[in-house]
Amino acid sequence: MTAAVLEHEVVRTERPTPARIPMSRLISVELRKSFDTRSGFWLMASIGILAVIATVATIVFAPESELDYEAFASAIGFPMAVVLPIIAALLVTSEWSQRSGLTTFTLVPHRGRVITAKLAVSVGIGAVSMLIAAAIGAVGNVVGTAITGTDTVWNVSAAELSYIIIANVLGMLVGFMLGVLMRNSAAAIVGYFVYSFALPPLTFLLAQNQQWFKDLQPWVDFNYAQGNLFNGVMTGTYWAQLAVTTFVWLVVPLVVGLRLVLRSEVK
């Protein structure tokens, strides 16, 4: 080394080692990133917008006799089941599809921590969205029955509401898992539709025609096991079936996806 180099090293004051980036900061940054693009913002806004549209549609189209809270809850539930998993998938895949991962994973060279922060943001968004949707549905129920002059019926119990929230968070986690596994926005979204909307009719058909599958279905069909959450009654057996299918169809592929994320190159 030359004298000049040594001189520079003297000039440069030794700086203290910075503190490790806390998880709370990663979560707040990931939350910000889910809102700070036009597409991200409108995807988030669509939760509220779709809930309002579904509520208005229920007031307009549902027969007066069926205008109760359950009608509002199921009307709002469907768009939620579509939008929330897409939000969760894009939260992960945009780092690859938009290539922003190059910056993200150099600023935080621990991909597991970034993915964990994204998971926390997903679950948070899912839970808050469901509460907002439930509130919009409640307003719809009050306003709707006031318009028709019928009695306001609250026929969704707290337990049933919590089952619906669990079901939607599970759906959101499926989107998240597919995002981690595919690392490509289009593939993850298509994957989700296949998973949740194309498979159920096929398994239904199979169960209709094959007795062995009909007996086995509750233990192997994730969508079928989730269906019980929407029916509002969960026995011990139902919980066990949900746990088994969740493990096979959600946890296992998520673990595989995480391993791929941790090892792969970020291009």
- Site of interaction with other proteins (CB under 8 A): 1, 4-5, 7-9, 11-12, 15, 17-21, 25-26, 28-29, 32-33, 36-40, 94, 98-103, 105-110, 263, 265-266
3-state SS, one letter per residue, for 123-174: HHHHHHHHHHHHHHHHHHHHHHHHHHCCCCCCCCCHHHHHHHHHHHHHHHHH
From CA 1, how far away is CA 119, in angstroms rounded? 48
Least distance to other proteins from the beta carbon of 1, Å?
A: 7
Hey, is 67 helix, strand or coil? Answer: coil
Minimum distance from CB of 252 to other proteins (Å)? 24
Nearer to other proteins, 103 or 162 (CB): 103
- Nearer CB in complex with other proteins: 41/239: 41
Tell me the closest approach of the beta carbon of residue 107 to other proteins, in angstroms.
5
DSSP 19-51: PPPPHHHHHHHHHHHTTSSHHHHHHHHHHHHHH
Nearer to other proteins, 19 or 60 (CB): 19
Nearer to other proteins, 99 or 214 (CB): 99
Can you tell me which residue has the tokens 């809270």?
A: 69
Closest contact distance (angstroms) between CB of 100 and other proteins is 4
In angstroms, give the least distance from the CB of 264 to other proteins: 9
Based on CB atoms, which residue is closest to other proteins, 119 or 130? 119
* C-alpha distances out from residue 60 to 128, 152, 195, Å: 27, 16, 32
The two tokens of residue 86 are: 């897409």
